[in-house]
């Protein structure tokens, strides 16, 4: 018998109106949005009625996505669906940690609000970009980045797809180098050089926030972006380092599959992780939470 995992998405798939139908249909989801509004007034309004530009702002994106993801996970819990492991891509790791029981959901929401503020603070210091490089091996992308000061390979997503972060002044030349090498660079809908050394001040300050938060051992395995392995030790260190360290998504998924996971439910507004998992191992099942919920009705 296989095992199910919840995987929580990161920035990029957000869209105006996300979560409105979910909250309207399921009281468990509505309760999560109400909780978030009590801590950060206007969160549900940003999700349900905010503009694309508002949702692109990191200080808004992160709490809004966390609210949606926790709401969807709460609906699944109410229906008796329990994951046997969890992981989250970038900010999704905060929602995954809440579901794993590392901290309570209110603490998780407060943390993600602060995380978004800190990362936006650093993003505003520089003119930066993120882009997904496709059609090249990770080693090729790393070699290309080494030739540019201020551009870093930051997300090892799946075979043939590696995300880079860096300074916008180098973007045109880097994109040209990628094309010459036979690849393609696709700009991402985020504002900041996330998971790069440019985020180190945000990581340090987020570590201080984590040290003020009551952290517990997780009730289910939570896989770390930093190591690609299940948490084993200092959760505060892993969650703070994650902001300025590469996301080792392919390693996470391969390790989860090796541990017996054969069904992945993407908790989030899109299907980015579903698509990545399909490229990592087409033999497993990966499904967006919207479709999974439809199958439970």
Alpha-carbon span 181 to 136, nearest angstrom:
8
Which tokens belong to 196? 């790069």
Q: Choose the catalytic residue: 44, 107, 165, 195.
A: 195
* Long-range Cβ contacts of 172-180 (<8 Å, 24+ apart): 173/148, 174/144, 174/145, 174/148, 175/131, 177/144, 177/147, 177/148, 178/133, 178/136, 178/141, 178/144
Active-site residue flag, 245: no
CA dihedral sign, ordered 83, 87, 93, 97: positive
Alpha-carbon span 268 to 25, nearest angstrom:
16
**Among candidate residues 64, 79, 82, 86, the one with its CA nearest the CA of residue 20:** 64
Q: Choose the catalytic residue: 90, 107, 196, 224.
A: 90
Active-site residue flag, 195: yes
Catalytic residues, by residue number, are 90, 195
């Amino acid at each position: 018998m296989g095992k199910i995992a919840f995987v929580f998405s990161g920035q990029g798939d957000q869209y105006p109106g996300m979560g409105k139908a979910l909250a309207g249909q399921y009281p468990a989801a509505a309760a999560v949005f109400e909780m978030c509004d009590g801590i950060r007034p206007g969160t549900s309004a940003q999700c349900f009625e905010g503009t694309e530009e508002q949702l692109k702002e990191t200080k808004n994106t992160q709490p809004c996505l966390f609210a949606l993801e926790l709401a969807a996970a709460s609906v699944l819990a109410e229906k008796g669906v329990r994951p046997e492991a969890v992981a989250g891509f970038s900010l999704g790791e905060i929602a995954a940690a809440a579901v794993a029981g590392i901290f309570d959901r209110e603490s998780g929401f407060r943390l993600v609000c602060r995380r978004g503020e800190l990362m936006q603070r650093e993003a505003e210091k520089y003119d930066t970009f993120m882009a997904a490089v496709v059609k090249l091996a990770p080693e090729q992308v790393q070699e290309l980045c080494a030739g540019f000061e201020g551009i870093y390979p930051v997300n090892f997503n799946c075979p043939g797809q590696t995300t880079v972060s860096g300074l916008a002044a180098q973007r045109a030349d880097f994109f040209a180098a990628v094309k010459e090498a036979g690849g393609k660079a696709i700009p991402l809908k985020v504002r900041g050089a996330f998971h790069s050394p440019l985020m180190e001040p945000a990581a340090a300050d987020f570590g201080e926030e984590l040290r003020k938060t009551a952290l517990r051992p997780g009730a289910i395995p939570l896989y770390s972006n930093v190591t690609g392995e299940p948490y084993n030790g200092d959760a505060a260190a892993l969650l703070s380092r994650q902001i300025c360290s590469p996301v080792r998504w392919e390693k996470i998924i391969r390790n989860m599959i090796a541990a017996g996971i054969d069904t992945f439910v993407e908790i989030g507004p899109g299907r980015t992780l579903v698509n990545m998992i399909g490229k990592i191992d087409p033999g497993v099942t990966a499904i967006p939470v919207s479709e999974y919920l439809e199958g439970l009705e």
